[in-house]
Chain A
């Protein structure tokens, strides 16, 4: 590894960092006297340009990974899933920055945008990382940024509370994760994902030691926190409720994509570590997938853990969402449920790219929808001063277009065709069943489908207030034209991608074609 190579492969990350610094310089240096709205617009625009430039660099980047000198151990990968996840992260970051327009929760605009971009850098690193150290550094870079963003509304007590809760939970889970990593390293002697996975299959008796299973549990706990899976979800409702809208949208979208990209890397490494001789045996095990005691390797234990997390998240997330009166908390619990569906996809992970494509599709479209939902919420909050269910009363009269956007986004989250949320679910569950049609798999898919039927109830609670119940306040809501345009485009995207699901699917699988 030489520095030129390192620079070339981390060019997108570097560009984001440069953009972050540039935003700081411009905002703090040149625009100190300017109006808040001007500063917001300039900072957001610079951030967007940074993301676009990073995306350009990503397209030009070499498709080979980066390895340690004198070793075949890849540190940063440039695989199909990496490129897709990184593109999604950048796209969602751009949308998040658009939400910043016309907001007024802070005067430290430059810092906010800079922290968003730095977190996005962490997210990009995680998506590509194949090495425990890089994974940890990336996660911390992302997480520290998210803690700051959550607590960014300095005048709001809720924001500070959410920030400290998020930070405490996050710090603890990072400790768990690091603890698990240390066991992995101690037993296998490597920090490389593929080497570790390979060690799991070796005949070495020491490897069957309970330490590894300890490590698995610790890692599942650490990553479970990142994706807000039950029982590591407690931070999510508070963070979603207290954080400023753009920060909450970023946590719910780009950060989620990064975490799931990491889980995908782990799954892929676990299944592909033994490419060649052992592949067929493991495949046949996996096809009959009921995690069995005697099968060696990483995947059986991991699958079991993920199945538990997935099942519990789907049930708890959906049932808890039923009782919410704050739309942000409702979205937080629905996010937990959606994480459950995706974990199901990871638990029944296919040897072919089918599963990872389905999960990437899901997480991207989910992120898109959620950013839009937070956009609508932030507008409503600004007009009514609260995100309670009742502040959506009469939205269809007050702003028909905004109500229509909300209708599309929430129905998509509930999985109603022809919106993209339905297709994402169908694709994901079909991928699960393509791995296994055992009773376990069928039962879990049935549970997931049943739970998404439950979810319609709470999404309808919001839509009912927007469309059905009488308004308490008839005054029209003024929406900033840029915000409205972005929201309408997101909604149009949700409809279009749902009607032509093959477009995005082909786009994703094209990234795999050259690999």
Chain B
């Protein structure tokens, strides 16, 4: 049944492409319906499959001569991310309600992207996973280049090329592992059991990890992320930060770490404390956490603040993966979900609720606009979302980052200490953006009149979208067992199956 999330999205994309032009209301309604049904399917799938190990959904030969199968399956990690995709898809449609230009094309690309993302999370054949992964790249380009804002063509092309270079690295890894394992199968399980030679894993692991890591915003390959996020229309930045970056992190875990576990073995020598690829990537993750946070602290564009905060938060995911222990990796998966929801929310506030009304994202200009009075809804939602983003208890971010830090302490206390700096700076940049955008200039009544016109009222899609995402973050924050029960056994199985 989960497979229908994929088919439905692609069918929806096709239907949108064929819709007559000039009927935006119909296009919106159709997109919302498709996304909502997808979410329902994801929730039902989660409820029925979670805790049952790996559930095979479909498994038929695709190219029999080459051992390529159409294998869809779901385990705890996939289920969590499918759930996230469902949430982000619905919220994204709601926050794109104001797209009036080429509406049906917008939703066609949008739903194609969603279908690709569902596909990646559900594929258990590397070839199939790669196909879906690439399907997700092209629509992103068009979404940003056509409907984006600041330097959209540049941002879109940069994003497309970074993604494609990353996927080229993955493809080389796929071809090499397929050939070296005897060319019998591209199934993830089969390849993981193929026992590739250790020296091959030593170069395949970094190749594929970096290939996926580019999309996960791994420092120093993250530079597409802020420009891409800023250039993208709101829904696309929500999806980029919310689920597309997770594709990268998911690939790192599902492909690089599972197929080439020996790639993380020590090299046998160490250089300034770095003695394996695992150390290299953990250090890059920590640098990403701190660097992203510090850069976010000095941005003048509101959206860049959120863009760099995504780099910082995704650093936690990568750090969690590199801990190679139960608690750290569980935290990493939870952080994927948590960041997906919270980043989506923050981008929605900045890109849709604020920017569409004020037509500026410059913090210095927003300072004079008195937004806490004129847009109290946005201000209060941003306060809550900001708290979630800082990792305050009660929200999903807290549980996730706490677990990652606990895991990294077990692996190497230095990582924890350095990443902790990132959390502190995280509080600072959120606070700064919050204060500048919404709560500064409280006494200057004159500015209100200077800007003359009233800001448009908050609409129902905005309220619904915000509530959906906040609700998800709160539920997971207050009762993390919902997801942890699905994630923990899967991580345990992965660790036992040879990731370590």
Interface residues, chain A, CB within 8 Å of chain B?
A: 396, 404, 411, 416-418, 422, 426-427, 429-430, 433-434, 437, 442, 445-446, 449-450, 452-453, 456-457, 460, 464, 467-468, 501-502, 505-506, 509
Knowing A422-B131, A501-B63, the reply to whether A456 touches B161 (Cβ < 8 A) is yes
Report the stretch among B141-149, B330-338, B431-439 that lies at the interface: B141-149
Knowing A467-B142, A502-B65, A509-B65, the reply to whether A449 touches B168 (Cβ < 8 A) is yes
Measured between beta carbons, the chain A residues less than 8 angstroms from B157 are: 457, 460, 464
Knowing A417-B135, A505-B65, the reply to whether A464 touches B165 (Cβ < 8 A) is no
Which residue, B134, B161, B178, has most C-beta atoms of chain A within 10 A?
Answer: B134
Knowing A434-B179, A449-B175, the reply to whether A468 touches B161 (Cβ < 8 A) is no
Q: How far is the CA of A467 from the CA of B145 in the complex (A)?
A: 9
A-facing residues in B90-111 (Cβ within 8 Å): 105
The yes or no answer to B62 lying at the interface (CB within 8 A) is yes
Task: Name the one of A418, A433, A450 contacting B178, with C-beta atoms under 8 angstroms.
Answer: A433
Output the least CB separation between A215 and chain B (Å). Answer: 33
- Do the beta carbons of A433 and B153 come within 8 Å of each other? no
Which residue, B66, B137, B146, B175, has most C-beta atoms of chain A within 10 A?
Answer: B175
Output the least CB separation between B57 and chain A (Å). Answer: 18
Q: How far is the CA of A509 from the CA of B65 in the complex (A)?
A: 10
- Do the beta carbons of B165 and A430 come within 8 Å of each other? no
The yes or no answer to B160 lying at the interface (CB within 8 A) is yes
Measured between beta carbons, the chain B residues less than 8 angstroms from A506 are: 65
Task: Name the one of A422, A433, A460 contacting B160, with C-beta atoms under 8 angstroms.
Answer: A460
The yes or no answer to B171 lying at the interface (CB within 8 A) is yes
Since A417-B135, A434-B179, A502-B62 are in contact, a sample of 14 more A-B pairs with Cβ atoms closer than 8 Å, ordered by chain A residue number, is: A417-B131, A426-B175, A427-B66, A433-B179, A434-B183, A437-B179, A442-B172, A445-B175, A449-B175, A456-B164, A460-B141, A501-B62, A502-B61, A505-B63
The yes or no answer to B130 lying at the interface (CB within 8 A) is yes
Output the least CB separation between A510 and chain B (Å). Answer: 12
Measured between beta carbons, the chain B residues less than 8 angstroms from A429 are: 175
Knowing A456-B161, A460-B160, the reply to whether A442 touches B176 (Cβ < 8 A) is yes
A-facing residues in B172-211 (Cβ within 8 Å): 172, 175-176, 178-180, 183
Listed from nearest, the 4 A-B pairs whose CB atoms lie closest are A433-B179, A417-B131, A453-B168, A468-B145
- Do the beta carbons of A430 and B179 come within 8 Å of each other? yes
Q: How far is the CA of A427 from the CA of B138 in the complex (A)?
A: 22
Measured between beta carbons, the chain A residues less than 8 angstroms from B63 are: 501-502, 505
- Do the beta carbons of B168 and A452 come within 8 Å of each other? yes
Measured between beta carbons, the chain A residues less than 8 angstroms from B452 are: none
Main secondary structure of the interface of B (DSSP, over half): helix
Q: How far is the CA of A124 from the CA of B208 in the complex (A)?
A: 44
Could you jot down 25 A-B contacts, CB within 8 Å?
A: A416-B134, A416-B138, A418-B135, A422-B131, A427-B66, A429-B175, A430-B183, A433-B175, A433-B183, A442-B172, A442-B176, A445-B172, A445-B176, A449-B172, A450-B165, A453-B164, A460-B141, A460-B157, A464-B145, A464-B153, A464-B157, A467-B146, A468-B146, A502-B61, A509-B65
Measured between beta carbons, the chain B residues less than 8 angstroms from A426 are: 127, 171, 175
The yes or no answer to B64 lying at the interface (CB within 8 A) is yes
Q: How far is the CA of A502 from the CA of B65 in the complex (A)?
A: 8
Output the least CB separation between A467 and chain B (Å). Answer: 6
Q: How far is the CA of A422 from the CA of B175 in the complex (A)?
A: 13
Measured between beta carbons, the chain A residues less than 8 angstroms from B64 are: 502
Measured between beta carbons, the chain A residues less than 8 angstroms from B180 are: 437
A-facing residues in B441-497 (Cβ within 8 Å): none
Q: How far is the CA of A329 from the CA of B64 in the complex (A)?
A: 38
Output the least CB separation between A36 and chain B (Å). Answer: 35
Knowing A445-B172, A449-B171, the reply to whether A417 touches B130 (Cβ < 8 A) is yes
Interface residues, chain B, CB within 8 Å of chain A?
A: 17, 61-66, 105, 127, 130-131, 134-135, 137-138, 141-142, 145-146, 153, 156-157, 160-161, 164-165, 167-168, 171-172, 175-176, 178-180, 183
- Do the beta carbons of A422 and B134 come within 8 Å of each other? yes
Knowing A434-B179, A460-B141, A502-B63, the reply to whether A418 touches B131 (Cβ < 8 A) is yes
A-B pair count, CB < 8 Å, reads 84
Measured between beta carbons, the chain A residues less than 8 angstroms from B105 are: 396
Output the least CB separation between B136 and chain A (Å). Answer: 11
Measured between beta carbons, the chain A residues less than 8 angstroms from B168 are: 449-450, 452-453
Output the least CB separation between A34 and chain B (Å). Answer: 39
Measured between beta carbons, the chain B residues less than 8 angstroms from A445 are: 172, 175-176
Q: How far is the CA of A457 from the CA of B141 in the complex (A)?
A: 11
Measured between beta carbons, the chain B residues less than 8 angstroms from A427 are: 66
Output the least CB separation between B113 and chain A (Å). Answer: 13
Output the least CB separation between A274 and chain B (Å). Answer: 25
Output the least CB separation between B177 and chain A (Å). Answer: 10
Measured between beta carbons, the chain A residues less than 8 angstroms from B62 are: 501-502
Measured between beta carbons, the chain B residues less than 8 angstroms from A416 are: 134-135, 137-138
Q: How far is the CA of A8 from the CA of B406 in the complex (A)?
A: 80
Measured between beta carbons, the chain B residues less than 8 angstroms from A457 are: 157, 161
Residue of B nearest to A436 (CB): B179
Q: How far is the CA of A418 from the CA of B62 in the complex (A)?
A: 13
Measured between beta carbons, the chain A residues less than 8 angstroms from B178 are: 430, 433
Output the least CB separation between B453 and chain A (Å). Answer: 28
Output the least CB separation between A343 and chain B (Å). Answer: 18
Q: How far is the CA of A472 from the CA of B65 in the complex (A)?
A: 49
- Do the beta carbons of A468 and B142 come within 8 Å of each other? yes
- Do the beta carbons of B176 and A433 come within 8 Å of each other? yes
Q: How far is the CA of A271 from the CA of B17 in the complex (A)?
A: 50
- Do the beta carbons of A468 and B130 come within 8 Å of each other? no
Measured between beta carbons, the chain B residues less than 8 angstroms from A456 are: 160-161, 164
Residue of B nearest to A464 (CB): B145
Q: How far is the CA of A422 from the CA of B133 in the complex (A)?
A: 13
Measured between beta carbons, the chain A residues less than 8 angstroms from B135 are: 416-418
Residue of A nearest to B174 (CB): A426
Task: Name the one of A442, A468, A505 contacting B153, with C-beta atoms under 8 angstroms.
Answer: A468
Q: How far is the CA of A449 from the CA of B165 in the complex (A)?
A: 9
Q: How far is the CA of A111 from the CA of B324 in the complex (A)?
A: 72
Q: How far is the CA of A446 from the CA of B138 in the complex (A)?
A: 22
Q: How far is the CA of A429 from the CA of B183 in the complex (A)?
A: 12
Task: Name the one of A442, A453, A464 contacting B161, with C-beta atoms under 8 angstroms.
Answer: A453
Q: How far is the CA of A502 from the CA of B69 in the complex (A)?
A: 11
Measured between beta carbons, the chain A residues less than 8 angstroms from B179 are: 430, 433-434, 437
Residue of A nearest to B137 (CB): A416
Measured between beta carbons, the chain B residues less than 8 angstroms from A396 are: 105
Q: How far is the CA of A501 from the CA of B66 in the complex (A)?
A: 11
Measured between beta carbons, the chain A residues less than 8 angstroms from B17 are: 404
Output the least CB separation between A350 and chain B (Å). Answer: 11
Knowing A456-B160, A509-B65, the reply to whether A417 touches B134 (Cβ < 8 A) is yes
Residue of A nearest to B170 (CB): A449
Output the least CB separation between B405 and chain A (Å). Answer: 36
Output the least CB separation between A501 and chain B (Å). Answer: 5
Q: How far is the CA of A450 from the CA of B168 in the complex (A)?
A: 6
- Do the beta carbons of A430 and B171 come within 8 Å of each other? no
Measured between beta carbons, the chain B residues less than 8 angstroms from A450 are: 165, 168, 172
Residue of A nearest to B142 (CB): A467
- Do the beta carbons of B65 and A430 come within 8 Å of each other? no
- Do the beta carbons of A430 and B161 come within 8 Å of each other? no
Output the least CB separation between B181 and chain A (Å). Answer: 10
Q: How far is the CA of A506 from the CA of B64 in the complex (A)?
A: 9
Residue of B nearest to A411 (CB): B138
Output the least CB separation between B228 and chain A (Å). Answer: 15
Output the least CB separation between A179 and chain B (Å). Answer: 39
Output the least CB separation between B107 and chain A (Å). Answer: 15
Measured between beta carbons, the chain A residues less than 8 angstroms from B138 are: 411, 416
Q: How far is the CA of A449 from the CA of B171 in the complex (A)?
A: 7
Measured between beta carbons, the chain B residues less than 8 angstroms from A449 are: 168, 171-172, 175
